[in-house]
Amino acid sequence: MTILDGKKVSNDIKNEIADHVQSMISKGEKVPHLAAILVGSDGASMTYVGAKVKACERIGFKSTLIEMPEYTSEEELLEKIHFLNTNDDIDGFIVQLPLPDQIDEQKVLMAVDPDKDVDGFHPTNVGRMALDLPTFLPATPYGIMELLERYQIETSGKNVVVMGRSHIVGRPMSILMSQKRPAGDATVTVVHSRSKNLKEITKAADIIVAAIGISEFLTGDMVKEDVVVIDVGITRVPDQTKKNGYRLAGDVEFESVSKKASYITPVPGGVGPMTIAMLLKNTLLARERHG
Ligand code: BQF
Ligand 1 atom nearest to 47, measured from its CA: 20
For residue 12, is it within any domain?
no
Neighbours of 23 (CB within 10 A): 9
Same domain, 248 and 212: yes
- pLDDT score recorded for residue 26: 98
CATH number of the domain at 51, please: 3.40.50.10860
For residue 249, what are the domain limits? Answer: 139-273
- Select from 99, 121, 234, 283 the residue to mutate for testing ligand 1; criterion: most ligand atoms less than 8 Å from CB: 234
Percent of the chain with pLDDT strictly greater than 70? 100
Same domain, 145 and 85: no
Backbone CA torsion sign across 124, 212, 264, 13: positive
Burial of 2 per CB tally in 10 Å (0-12, 13-18, 19+) = exposed
CATH number of the domain at 155, please: 3.40.50.720
Same domain, 260 and 194: yes
- pLDDT score recorded for residue 159: 99
For residue 242, is it within any domain?
yes
Neighbours of 155 (CB within 10 A): 22
Query: How does strand 33-39 pair with strand 92-95?
Result: parallel
Ligand 1 atom nearest to 270, measured from its CA: 18
Helix or strand or coil: residue 138?
A: coil
For residue 288, is it within any domain?
no
Same domain, 243 and 187: yes
For residue 214, is it within any domain?
yes
For residue 171, is it within any domain?
yes
Give exposure, 80-92, as e/b (b: 16+ Cβ within 10 Å).
Answer: bbeebbeeeebbb
Same domain, 56 and 167: no
User: Of 95, 113, 131, at which residue does a domain stop?
Assistant: 113
- pLDDT score recorded for residue 291: 80
Indicate which residues carry an active-site annotation: 52, 96, 119
Same domain, 195 and 250: yes
Q: How far is the CA of 275 from the centre of ligand 1 (A)?
A: 7
For residue 194, is it within any domain?
yes
Nearest CA to ligand 1 atom 26: 234
Per-residue pLDDT tens for 106-154?
A: 999 999 999 999 999 999 999 999 999 999 999 999 999 999 999 999 9
Which regions in the chain score pLDDT beneath 50? Answer: none
For residue 72, is it within any domain?
yes
* Total number of domains in the chain: 2
Helix (H) or strand (E) holding 37: strand 33-39
- pLDDT score recorded for residue 3: 98
Output the ligand 1 site: residues, CB below 6 A. Answer: 48, 51, 97, 234, 267-269, 272-273, 275-276
Same domain, 150 and 60: no
- Select from 39, 166, 244, 275 the residue to mutate for testing ligand 1; criterion: most ligand atoms less than 8 Å from CB: 275
For residue 283, is it within any domain?
no
